[in-house]
Amino acid sequence: MNARSLSMDRFRVNRSMVLALIFIIQIAVTSLLVPGYFDIRGLLDATRSFSEAGLIALGMTLVIITGGIDLSVGALLALVSVTIGFSYQAGLPLWAASMAGVGVGTLGGLFNGAFITYFRLHPLVVTLGTFALFRGIAYAVSDANAVSGFPDWFSLFGQTTLGWFPLQFLFLCLFVVIFWVVLSRCAFGRYVYAVGHNEVAARFAGISTNSVLLAVYTLNGFLVGLAGLIYTSRIASARGNAGLGLELTVIAMVVLGGTKITGGSGTIVGTMMGILILSYLQDGLTFAGVRADWGLIFIGVFLILGVFVNQVFRERSR
């Protein structure tokens, strides 16, 4: 047992290094193939487009470590965005509307968590339901219209740069550090792993598993709220079809980073590498002028392939 957990640890360290190497090779190859792609400023600017997905991927990492999944994040992002836009249009001050948006995100996560723990339902069913429900509310409220014309200061969250760094990327970095500390240096982090590894054993060990699950889903909802705020500020418009397919990108990032889809293991560093690799792949494709529909196919393939490779590796390491 001891030897095995040691070798697992070594494997995990190796994995992040392998991913980092892949990332470097990926950037090098894209730079060689696409003239004008390699440009530090340009590469940093590209972080603007994936910081939202990155934020949610951090929360999703925790969700998947507990053995669950959240398919509703894209729909919830749309609901958050619509809440901000339409409560502003209805006369609420924009700062209050923004807070309402983040609040709706958090409540959405809480709703998922409460449903999952109270009815003891599998998260995939609950979040498949809220996947339709949240976007359904967003469509119903917005009546398929969009709101734009926000005051200038609102571009703060999504369009500002500090030096060379887009503000939301610094935000993402901050949350990466927080989540790394929480997951690997706090008792709560250990509980998250324990619940995912063996929920019954965790309960017998005195961990309130329901509270852990509730906290994890609510936290994920809160991150979706923040991401929705950044998204609305970046796009400068709010509409119901925001974040279509976002759940796929986010889950692909997490599993590419080595988080086990059945729960119990995964790291924030791995997820960070998953975020970078997948986002710069998309960025490279867009830069090279490849049709956006290919993006759907690539991410789908990466998602399935990522899980497949994980499962095969784990089989071997036993």
Partner 1 sequence: MSLDAGSETRTVDFAADDVPQWRSILSWPAAPSIIFLVVATLGVGMVTDGFLTIANLRSILEQAVLISIVALAVNQVILSGEIDVSTGSLLAVCAFVFGNTANVVGGAWLPLLAALAAGGTVGLLNGFLSTYGRVPSIITTLGMLFILRGAVLLGGGAQVLNMAPESRIFGQGMLAGVPVTILIAASLFLVMEIVSRHTIWARNAIAIGGNESAARTLGLPIRKTRLIAFVLSGLCCGLAAAVFLGQIGQLQATAATGFELKVIAAVVLGGTSIRGGKGSNVSPVVGAVLVGVILNAMTLNRVPGTYELLILGSLILGAVSFEGVRQKLLTRGH
Q: Cβ of residue 209: shortest distance to partner 1, in angstroms?
A: 17
- If we measure between CA atoms, which residue out of 245, 260, 262, 263 comes closest to residue 299? 245
Site for partner 1 in 55-84 (CB under 8 A): 69, 71
Segment (H or E) for 161:
strand 161-162
Residue 208 to residues 124, 215, 246, 266, Cα–Cα distance (Å): 21, 11, 31, 21
For partner 1, which residue of 140, 178, 186, 205 counts as binding (CB under 8 A)? 140
The interface region with partner 1, picked from 81-89, 139-147, 166-174, 223-231 by CB under 8 A, is 139-147
Categorise residue 263: left if φ over 0, alpha if ψ from -120 to 50, beta otherwise: left
Sequence letter at residue 89: Q
Query: Cβ–Cβ contacts within 10 Å for residue 268, how many?
Result: 25
Q: Which is nearer to partner 1, 136 or 159 (CB)?
A: 136
Among 95, 119, 164, 204, binds partner 1 (CB under 8 A): 119
Task: Pick the closest to residue 49 from 302, 284, 304 (CA basis).
Answer: 284
Cβ 80 to partner 1 shortest distance, Å: 16
Pick out residues in 238-297 that bind partner 1 (CB under 8 A).
Answer: 240, 245, 247-248, 251, 255, 261-262, 291, 293-297
Distance of CA 281 to the CA centre of its chain: 17
Q: Given CA atoms 254, 257, 263, 266 in this order, what sign does their dihedral have?
A: negative
Quick one: CA dihedral 52, 54, 55, 57, positive or negative? positive
Among residues 31, 45, 49, 139, the one that binds partner 1 under rule CB under 8 A? 139
Q: Would you give the binding string for partner 1 spanning residues 7-46, x where CB under 8 A is met?
A: ----------------------------------------
Q: Which is nearer to partner 1, 152 or 293 (CB)?
A: 293
Residue 142: closest CA among 85, 77, 103, 93: 85
Q: Give the nearest distance from C-beta 71 to partner 1 in angstroms.
A: 7
312 interacts with partner 1 by CB under 8 A: yes
Q: Which is nearer to partner 1, 41 or 291 (CB)?
A: 291
Distance CA 300, CA 242 (A): 19
* Binding of residue 147 to partner 1 (CB under 8 A): no
Interface residues with partner 1 (CB under 8 A) are: 69, 71, 115, 118-122, 124-126, 128-137, 139-140, 142-144, 240, 245, 247-248, 251, 255, 261-262, 291, 293-297, 299-301, 303-304, 307-308, 311-312, 315
